[in-house]
Chains A and B, each alone.
Chain A
Amino acid sequence: MDLMINGERRQIDVPSDMPVLWVLRDVLGMTGTKFGCGMSLCGACTVQLDGQAIRSCVTPVSAAAGKAITTIEAIGATPVGKKVQAAWIALDVPQCGYCQSGQIMSASALLARNARPTDADIDAAMAGNICRCGTYGRVRAAIKRAASEASISGRGVR
């Protein structure tokens, strides 16, 4: 099976129903994407499929064929992902950090389609990402910070 992961073509030989999560972690050794629940309940495994945030723990690898998979390892190479990571660092969002790959992938997908999300937009996009360290307030603030930086640079271009 051919997969496009972070802009690279990868050939893998796995069962077609194998979730993307385990392909990434156990077959390709890309451990930035985390296992949290296996049931699409916690968001730790979030990656982007053609820019959409998806839960890789319940997405069979067959559903990713022909699409672009983006993971935490490469999100910093996108303009939005870079701003999100910078905002996360500026506000020291992570605590244990285990859920943060998923938080950042969800937040980047949100900001890529909605440059100025409201609190309600943030709630809707982020409610699926659980953080047991309770970094929610900082995640929200960091999304707003990344959004405001996105708009500032946007104005610059205009």
Chain B
Amino acid sequence: MMTTVSRREFVTVVAAAGGGLLLGYRAEGAQRAASTATAVATAGTTAASFAPNAFIRIPPDGSVTLVMPQVEMGQGVYTALSMLLAEELEVAPGQIRLEHAPPDDKLYGNQFFGEQMTGASSSVRAFYEPLRRAGATARAMLVAAAAASWNVDPASCRAHKGVVTHTPTRRSLTYGVLAARAAALQVPDKVTLKDPKDFTLIGTPAKRLDTPGKVNGTAQFGIDVRLPGMLIATVAASPVLGGKVARLDEQKAKAVPGVRQIVRLDDGVAVVADHMWAAKQGLAALDIRWDDGPNAKLSTPDIVQGLAKASESPGVTARKDGDPESALAGAAKKVEAVYEAPFLAHVTMEPMNCTVHVRKDSCEVWTGSQALSRARAAAAEVTGFPLEKVVLHNHLLGGGFGRRLEVDYVTQAVRIAKEVNAPVKVVWTREEDVQHDVYRSYYYDRMTAGLDARGTPVAWTHRIVGPAIIARYLPQAFKDGKDIDAVNGAVQLLYDIPAIQVEHVRHEEPVLNTGFWRGVGVTHNNFVVESFIDELAAASKQDPVAFRRTLLGKSPRAVAVLDLAAREGRWGKPLPSGRGRGVALLYSDWSTYLAQVAEVEVNASGDVRVHRIVCAVDCGRIVNPDIVKAQIESGVVYGISGALWGEVTLKNGRVEQSNFHNYRVLRMNEAPQIEVHLVRNGEAPGGIGEPGTAVTAAALSNAIYAATGKRLRKLPLQSALALAAR
């Protein structure tokens, strides 16, 4: 069974077991690696562990610890990454112990970001080869150690399930016995990776390693941290971004039994108490009055107006094929549309939380983060301590969806903890979580297409209006005013149209913080692109699947998933009245091809019910087909919630939604049957955590069109449908 422990806890465990000293850490960041080794060494461990790289550690007891460079937030990455290591290392999943990696960009950085970050459906893509290489390196050294001890040719030895066997004589030695000897060997520069045809683990539906702890209450999320003397705080930040505390009643709050301390920040207040109940009651008793500041009068229509105005001017061109202007001028028919997508909250099941202990000259942080090094840096910045004085313990994440790519909640918790003479766990209420999210931005898109006399598209222009999240989040990737996220899923348009222009008009509305939401830029762009191509199919009086197919002559993988989804989704087969099927196709920089057929019903009172979702997925080489299916199922459910009902609105600067009663998400009784069909091939692995979400809105909208004849161009669909029915 897997257990996850933080590095500090690990040190204790190993020391107790009399286990190993970290040797031979082959690190590009030698200094950092050395300090890690020192930390372990000072814990009093002396025996020799085998640790040829930062991901694998085998002490003499033969246990196999794999260090996870990406964080587990439900996407199954601890299992998938372990499979990559175990495949080449030749250990069985049952032998594995997992450990959260500490923050260290040099050792654990994700090549897509240049830092230790989990997001953008990148984990398997980023680590497919590096982890296999790490596993193969370790295996080669263990085999070499065994061969040396027998004085035989390593080629005559075979590793399997943590044991090296000399095939001709059937002598064998376990990895634990070999650890010390292997640790003394030079780490080879070159190793041979397995031929995929020899895989025994990769490609199999291996059981998730994190399930047992998640069914008996032992899994430790950030919110579950307990420390001696720890206090609990809850917080209210200004309900309007940029506002400040005007006045409050400290005496009333302090009168609540269990309340210990009120911490005033300029933009918020925290109540520190013995437990959450006292903290919550104390916060209510404060009766805070706010000075709302410059955003006090802003509401959603003001923001939309700003975006609409910005959409009248050209933006930065992200793709240009041919001459769209003259192609449009010469077209037999011109189709134009405006699409809108609202602000969205993430609403992870585990509300934002962070536990911090600020001591005289050091700081310790316990949390769940998708961006560990940023979380650590945030604590260093607030405390003024050097990075090495900040220790960060990561945990399982009770949902990420992009929310935990931000470290605002870490910064805030450290600001609070600086004022508290004890470790303090800062826990947001659900209301705080919904009203102080880093939201998916509002987007406003202008589409234009030209069709020739036969209804074939001859021109396509797509103008996206919204912020440049990348400019804030990954400024080094923001070049020449081009935001790769804002246009993701739009610039990769697969349809064979001779004249294409995709532009982004950067327009920031600083009334809400905005960031990444599951599916990132693709979620919004796929809705627009796949709705609009459906509009073109209708304008040329063609079947939506057939129409797409004729435009995909250069994309056989796209055709394959489209055909598979259409077949399994019973495309074209009769349906009862009130029901309709819609299709959508997705391709973006995740390199995954996904086609979805959605079947919906719109009842007499106009309520949308999703009955069936069929997805056909080609994500290249599959590490674990069951996890891929789970991720598509998951993405679809998340996508349905967002597409049907998801909407954060502002009134006088305040977010109007607060909890699950007015930020509706899909429930069990509303969940459709979801089928996932996988295409197997040997292409490079594609991302899988987000495509299911990103493809769903368009498929649903197109299905509603099929069911009702109403073309919805604004999300969320349920309220757009109500408006269209008026």
Nearest 10 interchain pairs by C-beta? A32-B217, A134-B637, A98-B398, A96-B74, A97-B214, A95-B74, A26-B275, A72-B217, A123-B669, A31-B224
- A131 contacts chain B at the CB level, 8 A cutoff: yes
Residues in B403-452 with C-beta less than 8 Å from chain A: 427, 429-430
The dominant DSSP class at the B interface is loop
B76, B208, B349: which contacts A99 (Cβ < 8 A)?
Answer: B349
Q: Nearest residue in A to B672 (C-beta to C-beta)?
A: A137
- B719 contacts chain A at the CB level, 8 A cutoff: no
Across-interface contacts of A48 in B (CB, < 8 A):
none
How many residues of chain A have a CB within 8 Å of chain B? Answer: 59
Q: Beyond the given A72-B217, A139-B668, could you list 5 further A-B residue pairs with CB under 8 A, ordered by the A residue number?
A: A22-B275, A95-B74, A131-B668, A132-B347, A136-B668
Query: Can you list 28 contacts pairing A with B, beta carbon distance less than 8 Å?
Result: A14-B277, A26-B274, A26-B275, A32-B217, A35-B276, A36-B349, A36-B350, A36-B351, A36-B430, A37-B430, A37-B660, A39-B661, A42-B349, A72-B216, A85-B215, A94-B208, A94-B211, A94-B215, A95-B76, A97-B219, A97-B398, A98-B221, A100-B215, A123-B669, A126-B668, A132-B349, A132-B665, A138-B633
Q: Nearest residue in A to B73 (C-beta to C-beta)?
A: A96
* CA A39 to CA B671, docked complex, whole Å: 22
Interface centre among B213, B216, B665 (most CB of A within 10 A): B216
Contact B399 A127 (CB under 8 A): no
Contact A73 B216 (CB under 8 A): yes
Minimum C-beta distance from A40 to chain B (A) = 10
- B257 contacts chain A at the CB level, 8 A cutoff: yes
Contact B217 A31 (CB under 8 A): yes
Q: Nearest residue in B to A131 (C-beta to C-beta)?
A: B349
- B36 contacts chain A at the CB level, 8 A cutoff: no
Residues in B317-333 with C-beta less than 8 Å from chain A: none
Across-interface contacts of A98 in B (CB, < 8 A):
221, 348-350, 398-399
What 0/1 readout, one digit per residue, does chain A (80-102) give for beta carbons within 8 Å of chain B? 00000100110011111111110
- A144 contacts chain B at the CB level, 8 A cutoff: no
What 0/1 readout, one digit per residue, does chain B (333-363) give for beta carbons within 8 Å of chain A? 0000000000000011111000000000000
- B261 contacts chain A at the CB level, 8 A cutoff: no
Q: Nearest residue in A to B216 (C-beta to C-beta)?
A: A76
Minimum C-beta distance from A104 to chain B (A) = 6
Across-interface contacts of A100 in B (CB, < 8 A):
214-215
- A38 contacts chain B at the CB level, 8 A cutoff: yes
A contacts, CB < 8 Å to B: 14-15, 18-19, 22, 25-27, 29-39, 41-42, 44, 71-73, 75-76, 85, 88-89, 92-101, 104, 122-124, 126-140
Using known A-B contacts A37-B659, A39-B659, A104-B215, determine if residue A96 contacts B668 with beta carbons closer than 8 Å. Answer: no
Using known A-B contacts A37-B659, A92-B211, A133-B74, determine if residue A123 contacts B349 with beta carbons closer than 8 Å. Answer: no
- B314 contacts chain A at the CB level, 8 A cutoff: no
Contact A71 B217 (CB under 8 A): yes
* CA A29 to CA B659, docked complex, whole Å: 26
* CA A71 to CA B214, docked complex, whole Å: 14
* CA A25 to CA B74, docked complex, whole Å: 22
What 0/1 readout, one digit per residue, does chain B (593-630) give for beta carbons within 8 Å of chain A? 00000000000000000000000000000000010001
Minimum C-beta distance from A16 to chain B (A) = 11
* CA A94 to CA B577, docked complex, whole Å: 37
Minimum C-beta distance from B644 to chain A (A) = 13
Across-interface contacts of A72 in B (CB, < 8 A):
216-217
Contact A132 B661 (CB under 8 A): no
B280, B396, B668: which contacts A97 (Cβ < 8 A)?
Answer: B396
Using known A-B contacts A15-B257, A35-B223, A36-B349, determine if residue A89 contacts B212 with beta carbons closer than 8 Å. Answer: yes
Q: Nearest residue in B to A123 (C-beta to C-beta)?
A: B669
Contact B217 A134 (CB under 8 A): no
Contact A140 B668 (CB under 8 A): yes
Q: How large is the interface on B (under 10, 10 to 19, 20 to 34, 35 or more residues)?
A: 35 or more
Q: Nearest residue in B to A15 (C-beta to C-beta)?
A: B257
Using known A-B contacts A39-B661, A101-B217, A123-B669, determine if residue A130 contacts B349 with beta carbons closer than 8 Å. Answer: yes
Across-interface contacts of B108 in A (CB, < 8 A):
none
Q: Nearest residue in A to B353 (C-beta to C-beta)?
A: A35
Contact A97 B218 (CB under 8 A): no
The dominant DSSP class at the A interface is loop
* CA A35 to CA B221, docked complex, whole Å: 11
Contact B666 A134 (CB under 8 A): yes
Using known A-B contacts A100-B215, A134-B671, determine if residue A19 contacts B277 with beta carbons closer than 8 Å. Answer: yes
A89, A92, A101: which contacts B630 (Cβ < 8 A)?
Answer: A92
- B674 contacts chain A at the CB level, 8 A cutoff: yes
What 0/1 readout, one digit per residue, does chain B (200-226) give for beta carbons within 8 Å of chain A? 000000011011111111111101101
Q: Nearest residue in B to A106 (C-beta to C-beta)?
A: B668
Across-interface contacts of A96 in B (CB, < 8 A):
72-74, 348-350, 396-400
Across-interface contacts of A85 in B (CB, < 8 A):
215-216
- B673 contacts chain A at the CB level, 8 A cutoff: yes
Q: Nearest residue in A to B397 (C-beta to C-beta)?
A: A96
* CA A102 to CA B693, docked complex, whole Å: 24
* CA A18 to CA B397, docked complex, whole Å: 27
Q: Nearest residue in B to A37 (C-beta to C-beta)?
A: B430
Across-interface contacts of A104 in B (CB, < 8 A):
215
Using known A-B contacts A41-B659, A96-B397, A104-B215, determine if residue A26 contacts B277 with beta carbons closer than 8 Å. Answer: yes
* CA A136 to CA B640, docked complex, whole Å: 13
Residues in B625-664 with C-beta less than 8 Å from chain A: 626, 630, 633-638, 641, 659-661
Q: Nearest residue in A to B637 (C-beta to C-beta)?
A: A134
Minimum C-beta distance from B123 to chain A (A) = 14
Using known A-B contacts A41-B661, A96-B74, A97-B214, determine if residue A126 contacts B398 with beta carbons closer than 8 Å. Answer: no
* CA A123 to CA B211, docked complex, whole Å: 24
A30, A33, A126, A137: which contacts B674 (Cβ < 8 A)?
Answer: A137
Using known A-B contacts A22-B276, A100-B215, A138-B630, determine if residue A34 contacts B398 with beta carbons closer than 8 Å. Answer: yes
Residues in B263-315 with C-beta less than 8 Å from chain A: 274-277, 280
* CA A75 to CA B668, docked complex, whole Å: 22
Residues in B216-245 with C-beta less than 8 Å from chain A: 216-221, 223-224, 226, 232
Across-interface contacts of B400 in A (CB, < 8 A):
96
Minimum C-beta distance from B405 to chain A (A) = 15
A39, A92, A132: which contacts B638 (Cβ < 8 A)?
Answer: A132
Across-interface contacts of B73 in A (CB, < 8 A):
96
* CA A134 to CA B216, docked complex, whole Å: 20
Across-interface contacts of A27 in B (CB, < 8 A):
275
Across-interface contacts of B641 in A (CB, < 8 A):
132
